[in-house]
Copies of this chain bind each other. A is one copy, B any other.
Amino acid sequence: MAITIKDVAKQAEVSPATVSRVIADNPRISAKTKQKVRETMKSLGYYPNFQARNLVAQKTRTIGIIMANSTTLAFQNPFFPEVLRGISVSAHNSQYGLYLSTGATEEEIFEEVVAMDQGKRVDGIILLYSRVGDRIMDYLFQSGLPFSVVGRPHTNADAISYVDNDNIGIAKQVMAHLFGLGHQRIAFIAGGKDFVVTLDRLKGFEEALAEHAIPHQAEYVVNQEGMQQDGKGAIRQLFELPEPPTAIVTHDDLVAYEVIGYLEDLQINVPEDVSIIGFNNHALSKHLKPPLSSVDICIYELGVEAANLLLEKINDEKAVPRQITVSSRLIERGSCQGR
């Protein structure tokens, strides 16, 4: 059996209450007593039991992290580890621990969220994604449990603390860059279509076209399902169009390189024949050939700020929901060319 507060109390010849107060560094305890109790704790190797402490304190100093369905490609790209790194740093600074969802299906994850909330397993939750009509977000919204989101919520956004990039704006900037190089026929390889980030970037894409009076052709948009089922075929189709694109924007660098691979098979060269821009600025993108122009969305900062927003709500019951826009910028490399 582990050392308890009673063992320390007995050994130090004080009451358990006093030991507890020494742990909490209560100012009403004399320096002498504190000293004595602390020595005893040390000599006995005492460590407070978290379960007991949490039970009476009615809090856990733990943050729940909800990630999207782990069977998706979410795990392939570096978004998850990088955002987690940001969250870790912020949580660690405030002495919070991290509890991870493990479910593989949306149903399982939903159950976990309910259990985390109702079972008082965490003090708050960070939702690592935002999708349209998400049960989990709806549940959190009505639960009263503090939470924050990485990504703009599709509904009730004003009433929710979240971090996001200016996805519409950055998509327009990417388009402006391509327009500036003389491109008019631009394809867009989009992420999962129920993710708000996808909708926003697509909106920026379309707005940019509209502002330049370029008609929006649906064939130029390839959705994630199309890429996953038959990426090669999807790209081939794109270039069998009567007017094939001269530039491609993809929602992720890894996808960009996958596309570049298919293009090489089709004898289409990047950037000579077609320009390409990715998102997420993968560590590899500056080393590979061609070096990829990519949008750095500052994933680490997204994580840090999401954790900060959550901690703000945890620490202050009536903190007003805040929204943080993390900067993003296009990093130009060698994958685009004027025409």
Contacts and interface: CB of A to CB of B under 8 A. Distances in A.
A47 B102 contact: no
A100 B98 contact: yes
A24 interface: no
Contact of A76 (B65, B78, B98): B78
Given A76-B78, A81-B81, A89-B104, A121 B50 contact: yes
Interface string A99-117: 1101110001000001100
A167 interface: no
Nearest to A3: B118
A70 B85 contact: yes
B100 A47 contact: no
A51 B120 contact: yes
Copy number of this protein in the oligomer? 2
A267 to B, nearest CB: 13
Contacts of A239: none
A288 B254 CA distance: 10
A54 interface: yes
Contacts of A108: 92
A2 interface: yes
Interface string A33-63: 0000000000001011111101100001010
Given A47-B118, A284-B257, A75 B76 contact: no
A280 to B, nearest CB: 12
A88 interface: yes
A91 interface: yes
Interface in A77-98: 78, 80-82, 84-85, 88-89, 91-92, 96-98
A49 B257 contact: no
Contact of A97 (B55, B120, B121): B121
Contacts of A89: 70, 102, 104
Given A54-B51, A70-B85, A98 B102 contact: yes
Contacts of A47: 114-115, 118-119
Given A85-B75, A257-B284, A92 B103 contact: yes
A100 B52 CA distance: 20
A287 interface: yes
Contacts of A288: 257, 260-261, 288
B98 A97 contact: no
A289 interface: yes
B119 A283 contact: no
A75 B82 contact: yes
Interface of A: 2, 45, 47-52, 54-55, 60, 62, 65, 70, 73, 75-76, 78, 80-82, 84-85, 88-89, 91-92, 96-100, 102-104, 108, 114-115, 118-121, 254, 257-258, 260-262, 264, 283-284, 287-289
21 contacts: A2-B118, A2-B120, A49-B120, A50-B121, A51-B54, A52-B55, A65-B100, A73-B283, A75-B78, A75-B81, A76-B78, A76-B283, A78-B78, A91-B102, A92-B104, A97-B100, A98-B99, A98-B102, A99-B100, A257-B288, A288-B288
User: What 10 pairs across the A-B complex have the smallest Cβ distances?
Assistant: A47-B118, A261-B287, A92-B102, A88-B102, A51-B55, A98-B100, A50-B119, A75-B81, A51-B54, A258-B287
